[in-house]
Chains A and B, each alone.
Chain A
Amino acid sequence: MTGYIIRRILQLLPVLLISSAGIWAMIYAVPGTPIGALVGENATPEQVQAAIQRVGLDQPMLVQFWAWLKSALVGDLGRSIFSRDPVFDLIMGRAPATLQLGLGATLVGLILGIPVAVLSALYPNSWLDRSLSGWSALALGVPTFWLGILLILLFSVELRWLPSASTYVSIFESPWGAIRNTFLPALTLGVYVSGIFARFLRASLLSEMKADYVRTARSKGLKERDVVGRHVFRNALLPFVTVVGLMMAAFIGGTVVTEAVFTYPGIGRLLIQAITQRDYPLIQGVILFILVVHVVINLMVDVLYAYIDPRIEYS
């Protein structure tokens, strides 16, 4: 297993290299430069030229890329063109907040989604199944910004239980403060993703229910609860954890709309800000971060596979 993880991490390097080159090419394809915004509307051509030289935009593209790559390898992602802060620090300042929201949202999604799926699969095509499917469709269909506003109206404006604008409070410093501040955005995202989780898991459970080992389990005289809850559930988890991993990676990579509704200080808002300012080093850094999150979570999902299914051996 250790050998497998090392190999996967080694395979990660070319992936990151190719993707970061892609990110570079993409940004240069976008019209406009950050210089105008940097020096102001009334700058003289000399001032513009000086600014270009200062941030290195006069160098050939490959040289810029190579310089960036060399420093990126040692964790130096350059400095933001605007704030002059190191990009790495800016991202790490936002990452814990995003991580906390992403994990919270996934947790809410699982808590809501799994029971819905199991109940649906126990009584397929019953009125219960139909109403639960309706619920999933609703959870998927309501736009998150709209649900977020509704939740703020209910919990912050009407009931005055929770703050309407969330700030980041670490769960390790103040668990209660963290829950108060993360609950509403996590619920907003969690409801949405519970719809996805419920649909996937229901389909996965129902297809597993047709497997031969289910008939065997019944023929032994097991309770239906155990047949579905143990035998079927564990097998149905395999495709399900892939979906959970994908959604979790998406959340940790930043959720622009929900962060905006709750003014939550996450990666998504950092990226939007960087894009509107054409802050190239910051854009590159954030996208690289999102990429790394996806790759790491994929690796975790693959490792989890081996724990769920003994047939999978990574050697």
Chain B
Amino acid sequence: MSEPVLSVRGLEVTFTGGGRPVPAVRGVDFDVYPNEVLGIVGESGSGKSVTSLAVTGLLPETAKVQGSIKLADVEVTTADREVLRQMRGQDVGMIFQDPTTTLNPVFTIGRQVTEGQVAHGQIPAGNARGRGIELLREVDIPDPTGRVVQYPHQFSGGMRQRAVIAMAMAGRPRLIIADEPTTALDVTVQAQVLSVLAKRQADTGAAVILITHDLGVIAEVAHRVAVMYGGRIVETGPVHEIFKRPQHPYTVGLLQSLPRIDAAEERLVPIRGQPPNPARLPTGCTFHPRCPIGRDRERCRTEDPALREVVEGHRSACHCVEEVAALLADTATPARAPATVAPQAAAAQAPLLAVDKLKVHFPIKAGILRRRVGWVRAVDGVSLTVNAGETVGLVGESGCGKTTTGRAIMGLIKATGGSVRFDGQEVTRLSPGELRKARRNMQYIFQDPYSSLNPIKTVGDIVAEPLHIHGIYEEMGGAKRIAELFELVGLPRTVLGRYPREFSGGQKQRIGIARALALQPRLLILDEPVAALDVSIQAQIINLLQDLQKELGLAYLFIAHDLSVVRHISDRVAVMYLGKIIEESEKTTLYETPVHPYTQSLLSAVPVPDPDARHTRRRIVLEGDIPNPSKPPPGCYFHPRCFRASDRCRVEEPAFTPYPGLPTRTACHHAGPLGASS
């Protein structure tokens, strides 16, 4: 192999600002070579982002860096500010997570894309505009001449991230560090962005470090993988080895806690406990409190294992590496019997929730007199049912109206038209008082466990609040009931008097669930309940939701963008696009035999955590972005991006009708399984 572009040895980063020093990175070694993608995987607090900031010399001054980082010919740990500045942009480029915040809102895209090269004297300021156009063209942005003078808010999310790639690649750096580059993007856009990144890498021969929590993305693009935990690399090797023959219990745990889009597992196997807090790391092997092998072993508790080679090129930091293979075999059989609640039996009765042609339109106002000039059709005729004890998944990309649907069902947003019947009662025309009563049976769980809990109340008071609001605190059993609720969601009753800030993300979501359950509802509307959580914690919450459903006979409307999670938890799934449901079916049918071209593209865009699938899976990469819901295209809303679109689709809107031979309903003139008509 040629010389590495980046060579990191014995890297240690300690934050010293105030109080005890916090070790964020504790002895990390790795190399990255030209034309290679090194994937770094880890959960929050694993030290993966700190490592990348150390490489570029962008850590704050409170961080103490030891060891060696050799990038191109620069020793980053000892170089002065000016040398590091010269290095950034010329030798290393960075791509960050959220393209809505990484671009400066007040400067044009063209200026931001070329500014680095101007600062390094690579191009004269007078040529910046021409260069900007060239760079935007290289990342496939349509109409680069017109786009170069626009501002970030005029770009869609996917185009912004492509502009960020153009920016990072402008000076043709030898190393690109991409820190969660697609986490904030929708799957179809993620696919576009990853392919642009791969193309630009092939053009320039750069080395890429891809930092992500998403094992699917890693399997899709990485050549080698480093798994980080507690500030160290615990396992590293070629991507096939890591996925097929993982040699560390943590890697095994990650793979098992992941719901998969290409398989129907009965129950996830989460990793117990929480990821460690860098300020309070466990002794010995940092993973031992969560490890199925080493939890009770003296050696694991006291001695931090070294990273040593197991097979050639494949290294693991585990004392009991020879026992890891058995972990994999253990879980080949399902850990629990399949669910016994039969939705079919429930379906015979009237559905618990029946939504019919629900519409939520928001007015657009303009002009001197603020007259209404149009409507944003956020939800435009959605019909769905949820039976008692059943989970219905509602999926779609951002802006498709899935959250607005959920809120309109709850009565949090007023419906413009259509009906919502809950347990036979029409709820859209209830007075506020009646609606409050009806809501006792219907509860909403929000995405963000960090902001949905009032920080100045104890968690006990937070969970008790709904009971007080409805004046039934004593009637429902008072403090005893609250303690029961905490036990129900897997939290000890000793935490009742604590405040939300003392809890981790997963624990906060448990508290949110306990609050929703306080009124003994029959339906929970869950809006992205696990999207903000780490993989291992996500599995715990999903399992909790499934257990609660079985125990309490709850019905769920599960709103999410993550197709794998939805497949795992749902009985039936509805796919939304631009305010409409375009396909709805029983879970397995929808995932195995989708008939709508949008569903087919969406499913094909989801990265699968299996490196072999890279070459075998068919990929439909959609062109363009989701249209603006205030100006939907005529005919079928999907036709501008559809690979089956015909003249009929451009003028005539398809009806939502049953598809023959399958338990599916769809809205498409050319519906049919893949391969049948394309």
Do A and B come together as binding partners? yes
B residues apposed to A, CB below 8 Å? 56, 58, 81, 85-90, 93-94, 96, 98, 101-107, 112, 115-116, 119-120, 151, 153, 164, 167-168, 171, 366-368
List of B residues within 8 angstroms of A218 by Cβ = 58, 88
The answer to whether B151 touches A310 (Cβ under 8 A) is: yes
The answer to whether B119 touches A226 (Cβ under 8 A) is: yes
List of B residues within 8 angstroms of A231 by Cβ = 104, 107
List of B residues within 8 angstroms of A222 by Cβ = 85, 89, 115-116, 119
The answer to whether A219 touches B103 (Cβ under 8 A) is: no
List of A residues within 8 angstroms of B90 by Cβ = 221
Instruction: Report the bound CA distance from A226 to B412 in whole Å.
Output: 46
The answer to whether A211 touches B101 (Cβ under 8 A) is: yes
The chain B residue with its CB closest to the CB of A217 is B104
Q: Is A7 an interface residue (CB 8 A)?
A: yes
Q: Is A220 an interface residue (CB 8 A)?
A: yes
Known contacts A212-B96, A220-B115, A221-B88; is A235 also within 8 Å of B104 by CB? yes
A-B contact pairs, 13 of them (CB 8 A): A10-B368, A212-B102, A213-B101, A213-B105, A216-B102, A219-B94, A221-B86, A221-B89, A235-B104, A310-B153, A311-B153, A315-B366, A315-B367
Residue from B105, B106, B116, B367 within 8 A of A221 (CB atoms): B116
In order of increasing CB-CB distance, the 5 nearest A-B pairs are A221-B89, A220-B116, A221-B88, A212-B101, A219-B94
Residue from B88, B98, B119, B153 within 8 A of A212 (CB atoms): B98
User: Which residues of chain A from 294 to 312 have any CB-CB distance to chain B below 8 Å in the complex?
Assistant: 308-311
Instruction: Report the bound CA distance from A3 to B106 in whole Å.
Output: 23
List of B residues within 8 angstroms of A219 by Cβ = 56, 58, 88-89, 93-94, 96, 168
List 11 extra interface pairs beyond A215-B96, A221-B86, CB under 8 A: A6-B368, A212-B98, A212-B101, A213-B102, A216-B94, A216-B112, A219-B88, A220-B167, A221-B116, A222-B89, A315-B366
The answer to whether B89 touches A220 (Cβ under 8 A) is: yes
List of A residues within 8 angstroms of B93 by Cβ = 219-220
Q: Is A70 an interface residue (CB 8 A)?
A: no
Q: Is A234 an interface residue (CB 8 A)?
A: yes
Residue in A218, A223, A308 whose Cβ sees the most chain B Cβ within 10 Å: A218
Question: Which interface class (under 10, 10 to 19, 20 to 34, 35 or more) fits A?
Answer: 20 to 34
List of A residues within 8 angstroms of B119 by Cβ = 220-223, 226
Instruction: Report the bound CA distance from A231 to B112 in whole Å.
Output: 10
A118-141 to B contact mask, C-beta < 8 Å, 1/0: 000000000000000000000000
The chain A residue with its CB closest to the CB of B369 is A7
Instruction: Report the bound CA distance from A236 to B369 in whole Å.
Output: 32
List of A residues within 8 angstroms of B171 by Cβ = 221
A231-247 to B contact mask, C-beta < 8 Å, 1/0: 10011000000000000
Instruction: Report the bound CA distance from A173 to B164 in whole Å.
Output: 54
The answer to whether A213 touches B88 (Cβ under 8 A) is: no
The answer to whether B103 touches A216 (Cβ under 8 A) is: yes
Residue from A213, A221, A226 within 8 A of B103 (CB atoms): A213
Instruction: Report the bound CA distance from A311 to B152 in whole Å.
Output: 9
Instruction: Report the bound CA distance from A221 to B171 in whole Å.
Output: 10
Residue from A215, A308, A309 within 8 A of B58 (CB atoms): A215
The answer to whether B107 touches A221 (Cβ under 8 A) is: no
List of A residues within 8 angstroms of B367 by Cβ = 3, 315
The chain A residue with its CB closest to the CB of B58 is A218
Instruction: Report the bound CA distance from A310 to B107 in whole Å.
Output: 8
Instruction: Report the bound CA distance from A309 to B153 in whole Å.
Output: 11
List of A residues within 8 angstroms of B153 by Cβ = 310-311
> How many Å from the CB of B172 to the closest CB on chain A?
13
Instruction: Report the bound CA distance from A308 to B411 in whole Å.
Output: 39
